[in-house]
Amino acid sequence: MALTRGRLSNVTAIAGAANANVVTVANNKKVYVKSIAIHDGGAATGTACTAYVYVVPNGGSAGNANRMFNVALTAKETVLIEPAYPIILEDTGDTINVAAIGGTINVLVNGDKEV
């Protein structure tokens, strides 16, 4: 099994009260998420937002049952989530979905994927 290492997504901007799939498995090629960087990209100083990170199985939707991280960010703060063991996405359509509540965030996901 050969792996490519590095960026799994481009920087994805997510505006308040919205969510987006930032990594999706294609062709049953496993994806190993090693880190998720989240930055509060809002323009206003003093405002804060919350980021939710979901691990969504194929055919599912983001919700409380698959929320893995709940991160409160202060204005202009950057948080790096590094699980002790990679989050493994295995089946075509499995996704990492991220939601922004109360502000705008930028998300970057790094790890490995099968080639």
Residue 86 vs residues 4, 16, 80, 92, 111: alpha-carbon distances, Å: 15, 28, 14, 18, 8
Delimit the domains of the chain by residue range. 3-114
- Give the pLDDT of residue 99: 97
Q: What are the tens digits of pLDDT across the range 9-18?
A: 999 999 878 9
**Residue 90 pLDDT grade (very low, low, confident, very high; cuts 50, 70, 90):** very high
Pick the CATH number of 3-114 from 3.30.470.10, 2.30.30.100, 2.60.120.220, 3.60.15.10: 2.60.120.220
Cα separation, 80 vs 24, in Å, equals 20
